[in-house]
């Protein structure tokens, strides 16, 4: 029973730590992040296993982790509040070419991160060309470019003005 309690506590601590670490931590892991994850996993294992290294004990720990994970995912599906607390919400970082500095600072994302995603996704070179840059729940950046003025856009507008 002590082992199950250890798993429950470690699971809760890990969820809290990774939630506090921010969205970008898991989405765009660096070599340093990967090494930290390995150290965390080893430390977690040591905290849960104690002196029992049997296969039965390992199976019990894995089963407890999986049960908690499934239970939490079901709880998130049934409660929007729990879902928001655990996975967060999308955050607009740039709107109409203007960065929201306080949001970017809080999420540890800078203009270079936004511009890199904009270049990769749309070939955008400046913030002025971004209608919205959104940090999604999973940690990746979605970029919505500003509409470019083209003849096709103008024709579409003319066609729509004929509809009543």
Q: What is the pLDDT along the chain (164 residues), one digit of tens a residue?
A: 777 888 888 888 888 887 777 665 455 666 666 777 777 787 777 777 767 777 787 788 888 888 888 888 899 999 999 988 888 899 999 999 999 999 999 988 899 989 999 999 899 989 999 999 999 887 889 999 998 734 444 444 444 444 33
Q: What are phi and psi of 59, to 5 degrees?
A: -60, -45
**CA-based radius of gyration for the chain:** 22
Question: Which is it for the CA torsion 9, 11, 61, 79, positive or negative?
Answer: positive
pLDDT at 13: 85
pTM exceeding 0.75: no
pLDDT at 8: 86
CATH class of 91-145: alpha beta
pLDDT at 29: 65
The ranges assigned to domains in the chain are: 2-87, 91-145
pLDDT at 130: 95
Decide: 124 and 130 in contact? Cβ < 8 Å: yes
Buried b / exposed e across 109-146, counting CB within 10 Å, b at 16+?
beeebbbebbeeeeebeebebbebbbbebebebebbee
Checking DSSP bridges between strand 98-99 and strand 130-135, what pairing results, if any?
A: unpaired
């Amino acid at each position: 029973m002590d082992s199950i309690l250890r798993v429950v506590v470690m699971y809760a601590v890990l969820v809290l730590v990774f939630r506090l670490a921010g969205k970008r931590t898991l989405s765009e892991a660096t070599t340093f992040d990967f090494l930290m994850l390995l150290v965390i996993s080893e430390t977690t294992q040591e905290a849960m296993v104690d002196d029992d290294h049997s296969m039965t004990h390992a199976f019990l720990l894995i089963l407890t982790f999986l049960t908690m994970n499934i239970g939490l995912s079901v709880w998130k599906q049934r409660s929007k509040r729990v879902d928001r607390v655990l996975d967060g919400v999308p955050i607009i970082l740039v709107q109409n070419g203007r960065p929201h500095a306080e949001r970017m600072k809080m999420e540890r994302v800078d203009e270079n991160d936004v511009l890199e995603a904009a270049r990769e996704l749309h070939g955008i070179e400046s913030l002025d060309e971004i209608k919205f840059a959104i940090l999604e729940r999973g940690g990746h950046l979605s970029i919505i470019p500003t509409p470019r003025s083209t003849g096709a856009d103008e024709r579409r507008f003319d066609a729509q003005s004929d509809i009543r």
